[in-house]
Amino acid sequence: MLSKNIEAALNKQIRIEAESSQVYLSMACWAEIQGLEGVAQFMYTQSDEERMHMLKLVKYVNERGGHAIVTDLKAPKTSFGAMKEMFEELYNHELFVSDSINKLVHVTFEEKDYATHNFLQWYVAEQIEEEAQAKTILDKINLIGDDKGGLYLFDRDIQQIVVKSSIGITQ
């Protein structure tokens, strides 16, 4: 059985994961209208992944005697000055999500809810991977600079970008 405090914290994370899905979806739409088909496909895939992260939390809350709550979502940004700006925002968003997961894990320690703490370890490992992937992509964009040929190749190749985290967790 979840405590009311942990249930509320998990519901907050459900909203964050749903908003993350929307952020990626909005980025996919922007990339697609810019002619960046590879980036768009990558973002659509990431949006689906974030939705699955949300659903995993929803199921956990409901299975542990809580009530997962679906709330309204903050609308994501819909336009970006450049691809680099979009990926910088993405990286910062992943840092925000990591911080949120870490705070949630801390609450489980405070309340001695070791089952939820154990469940959240998957999210901790996933965020290491998400941050590494976003940083790798940003590094590649910085290498490309203003080279249109490099941008074309990056757009073509981004679908193959898979960063293995330092702990080797894969999905």
Binding residues for Fe cation: 17, 50, 53, 94, 127
Contacts of 116 (CB under 8 A, 6+ apart): 2, 6, 10, 60, 64, 108
Question: In this structure, is the dihedral angle defined by the CA atoms of residues 170, 134, 52 and 119, taken in order, positive or negative?
Answer: positive
DSSP for residue 68: -
82 backbone dihedrals φ, ψ, rounded to 5°: -160, 165
- Which are the contacts of 140, defined by CB distance < 8 A and separation ≥ 6? 154, 161
Which residues belong to the annotated binding site? 17, 50, 53, 94, 127
For 116, counting Cβ atoms within 10 Å of its Cβ (0-12 exposed, 13-18 middle, 19+ buried), the class is buried
